[in-house]
Amino acid sequence: MDPAKLLMLCEQNEYNLLNLLDWEEEFEQTVEEFRLTLGRRRKKRKAPREWKFQRTGAFWESEVPASSEEHFINLFRMEKQYFHVLVKRLLGIKKSDTSFRKAIPIDKRIAIALYTLGSTAEYSTVGDLFSVSPSMVGKILNDFCQEVQRVLAPEYLPKEFLTQSQLEECVRGFEARGLPQCFGALGSCLIEVNNVPGNIAEYYNTQDWYSRILFALVDHRFLYVNYKSPGGRQNDEVYEESSLKSIVNASTLFKSNSKLIAGVKVPVMLLGDSAFQCSTVLLTPYANPQGEQQKLFNNQLDECRRVVDKALRQLKARFCRIFECLDNHSKPFDIILCCCILHNYLNCNKSRILESWLNEPRTERIQPVAIGDARQQTDVEAEHIRQGIGQFLSTINISKHLL
């Protein structure tokens, strides 16, 4: 600023020239400091973060292609040929590339889902193995379960399972096992839950832990699956409340396919353990068998009912996530239904169940034992049916001894 002008301003405003010069110097210094600070901030500004976190991994790209058939089965719970069939059929989970990045290939998506179902590893561990994020693992699993239901369920776990052709096939299968006029066996297992909705007491079972009931109808595959009932219920209560009972009662196929056995008209029936009430559609063992005929009947019925225990054991061995880590998923029934459909798909194609899966040590909860009420009143007609089948089995047993 011009000194003459400064002097004039001082005289007009009675300012001290020295003070005014100090003020000007302080102002210029403040402006300069502000300029330097702004410059430093600009220099320290970080580059924008990448929207995609770069991961590296060679498991899927290198190790899996070079793996043996046995190792592949251990990883993905099925042979390579059945895996490739899924890749061709489950096209609904295929994603398109974008301008930002390439989509995860469909075969890798299916591999991620199958590996997750067949293991108890955390999503973060699975994500590190396949070089994807944990949230992507959950999304891929959810999409996979939905697509399996959409594409494979009509063939391998249809809603309309009670048809004439299906009934005839099931009856032949149980006759080969030694029991006539049987459509399927009822059974269940408990799956532990931590996040209990509603009335918490309903989920507390007799072994003192919280659970839900996986209730199923099985021949050599799953015909019907229910995962709605809390673990505190009994099997007969679950059956009474299920849609299965309504389907069976509404159908005329069981009675229309009746056969005369030992002078008794025997309809096609379901098999249950002693926890169920014996009726004309549900065959159960004697609570207190008297005599050789009733004991033989019980033994043969228990032998045929093992198909449901075997199916649940194999399901547990192949897809162990549903019995140990199911709480981590937002849609547990989708996972269970998906695993049952895949179980049927693989069984129908004669896929192997490895002994190492069945014998693998697990920290499982003790399953409650179903106990029937010996005071239950059996329907008169149902009792005649049991007697007729018992007499039929005794005749066959005597014939075998004579031969």
Q: How is 156-195 classified by DSSP, letter by letter?
A: HS-S----HHHHHHHHHHHHHHT-SSEEEEEEEEEEE-SS
Q: Among 253-262, 339-348, 393-402, where is mean pLDDT lowest? A: 393-402
- Round to whole Å and give the CA distance between 90 and 15: 87
Q: Cα separations (Å) of 112 from 44, 104, 135, 195, 226?
A: 41, 10, 12, 25, 26
Mean pLDDT of 287-304: 92
Q: Is the pLDDT of residue 267 over 60?
A: yes
Name the one residue in this structure whose structure tokens are 């994500």: 127
The candidate with the shortest Cα–Cα distance to 129, out of 50, 62, 80, is 62
pLDDT at 250: 93
Rg (the chain; Cα; Å): 35
Region of 38 on the Ramachandran plot (φ > 0 left; ψ -120 to 50 alpha; else beta): alpha
Confidence at 330, pLDDT banded by 50, 70, 90 = low
* pLDDT for residue 5: 57
**Share above pLDDT 90 across residues of the chain, in percent, rounded to a whole number:** 59
Query: What contacts 69, CB < 8 A, 6 or more positions away?
Result: 79, 80
Hey, how many other C-beta atoms are within 10 angstroms of the C-beta on 365? 17
252 or 6: whose pLDDT is higher?
A: 252
Helix (H) or strand (E) holding 260: strand 259-261
Specify the DSSP element, H or E, that contains 211: strand 211-218
Q: Which residue has 């490895």 as its token pair?
A: 354
Mean pLDDT, the chain, rounded, equals 84
What pLDDT shows up at residue 228?
Answer: 86
The token pair that represents 91 in the structure block = 């096209």
Could you tell me the pTM of the whole model?
A: 0.82
How many residues does the structure list for the chain? 403
Please write the tens of the pLDDT for every residue from 32-45.
Answer: 666 666 565 554 45
What share of the chain in percent tops pLDDT 70? 79
* Cβ atoms of 212 and 390 closer than 8 Å: no
Task: Quickly count: other Cβ atoms within 10 Å of residue 300's Cβ.
Answer: 20
User: What CA–CA distance (Å, rounded) separates 324 from 326?
Assistant: 6
Which amino acid is residue 168, in one-letter code?
A: E
pLDDT > 80? residue 324: no
Q: Which residues contact 3 (CB under 8 A, 6 or more apart)?
A: none
pLDDT at 395 over 50: yes
Would you say 167 and 253 are in contact if contact means Cβ atoms under 8 Å apart? yes
* Kind of pairing between the strands at 264-266 and 269-271: unpaired
pLDDT of residue 17: 47
The larger pLDDT score, comparing residue 229 to residue 217, is at 217
Q: With 80 as the cut, is the pLDDT of residue 50 above it?
A: no
- Side-chain-side CA neighbours of 25 within 13 Å: the count stands at 6
**Would you list the DSSP string of 109-144?**
HHHHHHHHHT----HHHHHHHHTS-HHHHHHHHHHH
β-strand pairing of 222-226 with 211-218: antiparallel
Pair 194, 174: CB distance under 8 Å = no
DSSP annotation of 326 reads: G
| Contact criterion met (CB below 8 Å) for 246 and 235 | no
Helix/strand/coil for 311: helix
- The total of other beta-carbon atoms located within 10 Å of residue 276's CB is 23
